[in-house]
């Protein structure tokens, strides 16, 4: 019996629940697992992450968000744009951000907001590990996002990043976390890509039109159509 | 001469290690070797020298923890700046680099270690470990760099200790590495299908003729490298000549009673003596009677490294009992030598025949002996040593 | 030829052929490389193999290099395989070479010891100790190395090969039947060739088919599925 947590993406939980469990609404991401979301650029991977994060926040699950392409202001605005308001959660210190993008000093660093750099993977790992550990002392569950590992790979020795990613996944799981990692297909050496795919538990591809669950604990390959709407990603599960 | 304070090692080295020498501890895979480097460093630090550890397998904080487990406070000495780290490990796994010097690129290693050597004149540096370096340095560079380091160390009177696991590298490379060192210490396994012990032996020293003794050791936490005297069992069916055999191989053997804690505590009579043969030291335990073999093995358990099973070559009826005992030794992974005794008697079966009748594998030596005539005793001991140090 | 029950339904039957090989499972005291792309069931194969042996009271030396002990236990529980019994009877000896990265405090017990993924010397020391422990339980035991993937990420490829050769030699000498898993594509072509040459048998999983090739030349292939009871083979044939 694999415990799953609600994804926050409309239609995803239905897609990932087995037929007999449909009525029980037992779909979603396997708890304490690592999922790779990959595909071409601009297909909705970050949106997926926002929705996943927000779902956790509404369920009292803190989220640790490592962002490499969009700074915190961007994320806040984009999420607001699809109806996900972070105000309360920022106030209640439920969302922790490690921002490897913004170098503007407007937002002050705090317990829930730290800056880092994609050129310093060690620093990112240290910060993320520290936060994960402190969250785990207060909460049995947490969600983690790495958006995206591609940007980190681009700025560093790939093998180093593979090791850092492995360490990150181990630590986040140790802290009780369920994590999503985004990646642009083909952006790294094929060996690196294979290594990354072998380090996660589940692999999901978004190609702009279809969401393909290539591997997921407890289920076989599945796919469906999806659309990006002004409420985020919607998986068209019931449509024929 | 700088002492290592590793039991027996300083004796084998003719007193210790001269300032500025390079020492290679080369180990069979499976043998714990870094303790030798760490213990030597600890001893030198205690005697007022400075030192450093170059690590490429684990972070400095883990090494401090390892020292703690041995019962040595490295952290304090780091704080007192008596010893420092060259951290060649952390960066490559994405951990923060700590230590006085850090390595973020393998091209930096040569110069950084030279800096470290220069920082500890008349001191000691530990390179842990050489095995990992070989793959990261370009071909041919390893030997050149080692030679450079040894030269700088020699000029600086710094002792360099290299920890090296001898995986199956090219022979030529290993020879070159060994040739560049002043001193070679071999750490080897004693195996009988599984590793049952480990021993060290000095195989080369530029300043002395090393003793050719090999000594068995364990790494104790706390404690470090501790020698242990292995136990050799002499057993066999009734009346095979066990007691006589013990007397021949072990001086001053005495008969004692030992408590055995089996289901019911019993006492077992044993002959105990000490054997010294070709540099091999062992305590010999003989079982004079028809004692419960399993109880004896319980007494000896962890430290029995070999067994002589003495059989009466004229009494084939007793072979079955001998085989039982062999099976038990096999289960405990104890190497054995069969001593086919009483060869001087007319009805004695030859070792070849005995092997056939008992159906014994070729790998187990059967040595013919005749105790009254003092024949075969050295052969038997040679056979055991051969298996132990194969 | 003596064999060991694989624990994969359909596999032992597949290997029992009229072609004169008469294998009813994995040949005893051999080493088998289970390889394929990510997520095809290689780890599940090794869990099944180990677990089946434990149910038969065959001790197992389990080296986990991708997942820590906690995760391993959780993964097994997902399939309904519980290790408690085996651990109490001390039939399972686990060397956890990856948990040290997670920062979790690790307690060594009689049958569980940590090591470091980037320190093959230490790993081999632990293998020596573990082998001796398991060997004393039974001269016929199983061993699993799951998987080579993470070692390849943390060590130079030649070092992993050197380690593997020594590992296989040591364990075969001790009487073990070995299963080693590896993700195809993680090491370079040459290394992969060497990898396949240092083992006796190879089992390739590609997501749909399992193909078995033994050193004796026996080849068999069958469809397979990952079910909630592990891998299950369908109809197959000997080639």
- For the segment A117-144, what is each residue's pLDDT rounded down to a tens digit? 999 999 999 999 999 999 999 999 999 9
CA distance C102 to chain B (A): 12
Size of interface A-B (CB pairs under 8 A): 19
- Rounded distance, CA B44 to CA B38, Å? 10
DSSP codes joined into one string, A5-41: E--SSBTHHHHTS-GGGGGGT--SEETT-EEEEEEST
Round the average pLDDT of chain B to a whole number and report it.
89
With an 8 Å Cβ cutoff, is A157 touching chain B? no
- Can you name the residues that pair with A232 across neighbouring β-strands? A229, A230
pLDDT tens-digit profile of B259-305? 665 555 666 677 888 888 877 788 898 875 565 666 666 666 566 78
Higher pLDDT, A40 or C139: A40
Tell me which of B130, B193, B330 to substitute to probe the interface with C (most C C-beta atoms closer than 10 Å): B193
- Can you name the residues that pair with B337 across neighbouring β-strands? B308
CB contact under 8 A, B135 and C136: no
CB contact under 8 A, B93 and A126: no
Weakest-pLDDT range from A173-187, A201-215, B356-370:
B356-370
pLDDT the model gives residue B238: 80
CA distance B221 to chain C (A): 13
pLDDT the model gives residue B264: 59
3-state helix, strand, coil in chain B (%, to 5): 35, 30, 35
- Rounded distance, CA A153 to CA A118, Å? 9
How large a percentage of chain B has pLDDT more than 70? 91
CB contact under 8 A, C162 and B168: yes
CA C135 to chain centre: 17
pLDDT the model gives residue B291: 57
pLDDT the model gives residue B191: 81
With an 8 Å Cβ cutoff, is A164 touching chain B? yes
Question: In chain B, which ranges are E strands?
Answer: 22-27, 51-55, 83-87, 101-102, 124-128, 159-165, 183-192, 194-205, 214-220, 224-227, 231-235, 251-261, 265-277, 280-286, 304-312, 336-341, 366-368
How large a percentage of chain C has pLDDT more than 70? 97
Classify strands A95-99 and A113-115 as parallel, antiparallel or unpaired: parallel
| pLDDT above 90 (res C184) | yes
| pLDDT above 60 (res B258) | yes
- Rounded distance, CA C40 to CA C81, Å? 19
CA distance A199 to chain C (A): 8
When pLDDT is averaged across residues B225-246 and rounded to a whole number, the result is 86
When pLDDT is averaged across residues B344-370 and rounded to a whole number, the result is 90
For residue A168, CA distances in Å to A133, A163, C77, C209 come to: 12, 9, 24, 33
Please report which confidence band the pLDDT of residue A240 belongs to, taking 50, 70 and 90 as the band edges. Answer: very low
pLDDT the model gives residue A125: 97
Nearest CA in chain B to C158: B135
H helical segments located in B310-350: 319-331
pLDDT the model gives residue B288: 59
CA distance B27 to chain C (A): 9
Burial class (CB in 10 A: 0-12, 13-18, 19+), A103: exposed
B209 in helix, strand or coil?
A: coil
Residues 6 or more apart whose CB falls under 8 angstroms from that of B213 comprise B8, B12, B201, B279, B280, B281
pLDDT tens-digit profile of C93-131? 999 999 999 988 888 899 999 999 999 999 999 999 999
pLDDT the model gives residue B83: 97
When pLDDT is averaged across residues A29-49 and rounded to a whole number, the result is 96
Partners of A171 on chain C (C-beta within 8 Å) are: 101-103
- Rounded distance, CA C155 to CA C77, Å? 31
pLDDT the model gives residue A23: 54
**Chain A: partners with 3+ C-beta pairs within 8 Å:** B, C
Please report which confidence band the pLDDT of residue C182 belongs to, taking 50, 70 and 90 as the band edges. Answer: very high
When pLDDT is averaged across residues B129-144 and rounded to a whole number, the result is 88
Round the average pLDDT of chain C to a whole number and report it.
93
Note which residues in 87-146 of chain A have CB less than 8 A from chain B: 121-122, 125-126
pLDDT the model gives residue C237: 84
pLDDT the model gives residue B390: 61
pLDDT the model gives residue B298: 65
CA distance C26 to chain B (A): 22
CB contact under 8 A, C39 and A32: no
Q: Count how many Cα atoms sit within 13 Å of the Cα of residue A110 in the half-sphere of its side chain.
A: 10
pLDDT the model gives residue B12: 93
pLDDT tens-digit profile of B55-94? 999 999 999 999 999 999 999 999 999 999 999 999 999 9
| pLDDT above 80 (res C23) | no
Please report which confidence band the pLDDT of residue A102 belongs to, taking 50, 70 and 90 as the band edges. Answer: confident
| pLDDT above 90 (res A18) | no
pLDDT the model gives residue A104: 64
Helix (H) or strand (E) holding C231, with range, is strand C230-238
Nearest to B193 among C116, C162, C174 (CB): C174
- Can you name the residues that pair with B217 across neighbouring β-strands? B198, B227
Tell me which of A160, A198, A222 to substitute to probe the interface with C (most C C-beta atoms closer than 10 Å): A198
CB contact under 8 A, A122 and B92: no
| pLDDT above 80 (res B339) | yes
With an 8 Å Cβ cutoff, is A91 touching chain C? no
Determine phi and psi for B375, rounding to 5 degrees.
-105, 140
- C195, C193, C207: which is closest to C168 by C-alpha? C195
When pLDDT is averaged across residues C20-29 and rounded to a whole number, the result is 77
Please report which confidence band the pLDDT of residue C24 belongs to, taking 50, 70 and 90 as the band edges. Answer: confident
- Rounded distance, CA A140 to CA B260, Å? 52
With an 8 Å Cβ cutoff, is B29 touching chain C? yes
CB contact under 8 A, C38 and A194: yes
| pLDDT above 60 (res A20) | no
pLDDT the model gives residue A122: 96
Higher pLDDT, A105 or A185: A185
Tell me which of C35, C38, C74, C205 to substitute to probe the interface with A (most A C-beta atoms closer than 10 Å): C38
Residues 6 or more apart whose CB falls under 8 angstroms from that of A80 comprise A86
For residue B171, CA distances in Å to B148, B166, B178 come to: 21, 10, 11
Partners of B92 on chain A (C-beta within 8 Å) are: 160, 163
- Can you name the residues that pair with B186 across neighbouring β-strands? B26, B201
* Tokens 């487990």, residue located: B69
DSSP assignment, residue B52? E
Nearest to B93 among C118, C131, C156 (CB): C118
When pLDDT is averaged across residues C164-173 and rounded to a whole number, the result is 97
Residue A101 neighbours by CB distance under 10 Å: 19
pLDDT the model gives residue A19: 60
Q: What is the pTM of this model?
A: 0.90
Q: Which of C19-23, C107-111, C154-158 has the highest mean pLDDT?
A: C154-158
Nearest CA in chain B to A165: B94
With an 8 Å Cβ cutoff, is A195 touching chain C? yes
When pLDDT is averaged across residues C41-59 and rounded to a whole number, the result is 96
Nearest CA in chain A to C40: A215
């Amino acid at each position: 019996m694999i415990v799953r947590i609600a994804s926050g993406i409309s239609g995803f939980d239905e897609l990932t629940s087995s037929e007999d469990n449909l009525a029980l609404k037992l779909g979603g991401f396997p708890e304490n697992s690592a999922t790779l979301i990959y595909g071409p650029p601009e297909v909705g991977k970050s949106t997926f992450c926002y929705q996943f994060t927000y779902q956790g926040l509404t369920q009292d699950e803190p989220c640790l968000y490592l962002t490499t392409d969009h700074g915190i202001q961007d994320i806040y605005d984009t999420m607001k744009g699809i109806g996900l308001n972070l105000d309360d959660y920022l106030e209640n210190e439920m969302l922790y951000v490690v921002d490897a993008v913004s170098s503007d000093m407007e937002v002050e660093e705090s317990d829930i907001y730290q800056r880092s750099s994609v050129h310093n993977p060690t620093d990112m790992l240290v910060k993320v590990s520290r936060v994960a550990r402190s969250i785990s002392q207060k909460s049995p569950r947490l969600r983690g996002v790495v958006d995206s590992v591609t940007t980190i790979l681009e700025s560093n020795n790939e093998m180093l990043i593979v090791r850092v990613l492995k360490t990150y996944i181990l630590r986040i799981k140790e802290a009780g976390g369920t994590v999503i990692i985004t990646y642009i297909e083909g952006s790294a050496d094929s060996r690196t890509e294979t290594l990354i795919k072998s380090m996660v538990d589940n692999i999901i591809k978004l190609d702009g039109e279809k969401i393909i669950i290539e591997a997921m604990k407890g289920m076989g390959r599945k796919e469906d159509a999806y659309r990006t709407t002004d409420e985020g990603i919607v998986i068209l599960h019931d449509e024929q | 001469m700088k002492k290592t304070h590793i039991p027996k090692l300083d004796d084998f080295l003719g007193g210790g290690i001269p300032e500025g020498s390079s020492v290679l501890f080369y180990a069979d895979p499976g043998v714990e070797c870094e303790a030798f480097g760490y213990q030597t460093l600890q001893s030198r630090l205690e005697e007022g020298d400075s030192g450093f550890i170059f690590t490429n397998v684990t972070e400095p904080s883990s090494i401090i923890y390892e020292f703690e487990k041995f019962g040595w406070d490295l952290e304090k000495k780091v704080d007192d700046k008596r010893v420092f780290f060259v951290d060649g490990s952390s960066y490559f796994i994405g951990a923060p680099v700590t230590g006085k010097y850090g390595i973020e690129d393998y091209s930096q290693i040569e110069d950084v270690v030279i800096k470290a050597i220069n920082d500890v004149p008349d001191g000691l540096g530990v390179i842990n470990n050489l095995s990992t370096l070989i793959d990261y340095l370009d071909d041919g560079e390893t030997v050149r760099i080692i030679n450079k380091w040894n030269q700088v160390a020699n000029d600086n009177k710094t002792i360099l200790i290299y920890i090296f696991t001898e995986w199956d590298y090219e022979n030529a490379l290993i020879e070159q590495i060994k040739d560049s060192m002043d001193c070679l210490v071999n750490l080897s396994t004693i195996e009988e299908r599984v590793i049952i012990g480990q021993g060290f032996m000095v195989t080369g020293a530029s300043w002395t003729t090393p003793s050719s003794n090999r000594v068995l050791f364990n790494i104790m936490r706390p404690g470090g490298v501790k020698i242990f005297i292995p136990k050799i069992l002499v057993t066999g069916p009734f009346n095979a000549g066990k007691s006589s055999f013990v007397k021949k191989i072990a001086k001053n053997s005495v008969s004692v009673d030992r408590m055995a804690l089996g289901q019911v505590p019993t006492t077992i009579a044993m002959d105990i003596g000490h054997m010294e043969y070709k540099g091999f030291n062992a305590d010999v335990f003989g079982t004079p009677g028809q004692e419960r073999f399993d109880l004896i093995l319980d007494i000896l358990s962890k430290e029995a490294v070999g067994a002589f099973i003495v059989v009466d070559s004229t009494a084939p009826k007793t072979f079955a009992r001998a085989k039982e005992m062999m099976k038990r030794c096999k289960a405990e992974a104890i190497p054995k030598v069969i001593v086919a005794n009483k060869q001087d008697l007319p009805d004695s079966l030859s070792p070849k025949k005995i092997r056939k009748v008992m159906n014994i594998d070729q790998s187990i030596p059967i040595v013919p002996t005749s105790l009254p005539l003092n024949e075969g005793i050295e052969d038997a001991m040679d056979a055991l040593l051969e298996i132990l140090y194969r | 030829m003596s064999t060991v029950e694989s624990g994969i339904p359909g596999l032992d039957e597949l290997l029992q052929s009229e072609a004169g090989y008469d294998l009813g499972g994995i040949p005893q005291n051999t080493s088998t490389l289970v390889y394929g792309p990510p997520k095809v069931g290689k780890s599940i194969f090794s869990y099944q193999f180990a677990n089946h042996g434990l149910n038969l009271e065959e001790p197992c030396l389990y080296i986990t290099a991708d997942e820590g002990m906690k995760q391993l236990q959780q993964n097994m529980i997902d399939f309904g395989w519980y290790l408690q019994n085996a651990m109490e009877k001390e039939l399972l000896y686990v060397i956890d070479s990856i948990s040290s990265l997670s920062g979790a405090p690790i307690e060594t017990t009689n049958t569980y010891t940590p090591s470091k993924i980037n320190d093959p010397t230490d790993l081999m020391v632990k293998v020596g100790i573990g082998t001796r422990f398991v060997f004393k339980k039974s001269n016929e035991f199983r061993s699993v190395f799951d998987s080579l993937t993470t070692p390849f990420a943390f060590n130079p490829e030649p070092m992993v090969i050197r380690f593997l050769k020594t590992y296989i030699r040591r364990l075969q000498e001790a009487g073990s039947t070995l299963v080693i898993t590896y993700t195809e594509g993680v090491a370079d072509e040459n290394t992969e060739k060497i990898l396949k040459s240092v083992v006796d048998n190879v089992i390739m999983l590609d997501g749909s088919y399992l193909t078995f090739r033994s050193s004796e030349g026996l080849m068999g292939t069958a469809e397979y599925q990952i079910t909630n009871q592990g891998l299950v083979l369908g109809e197959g044939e000997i080639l």
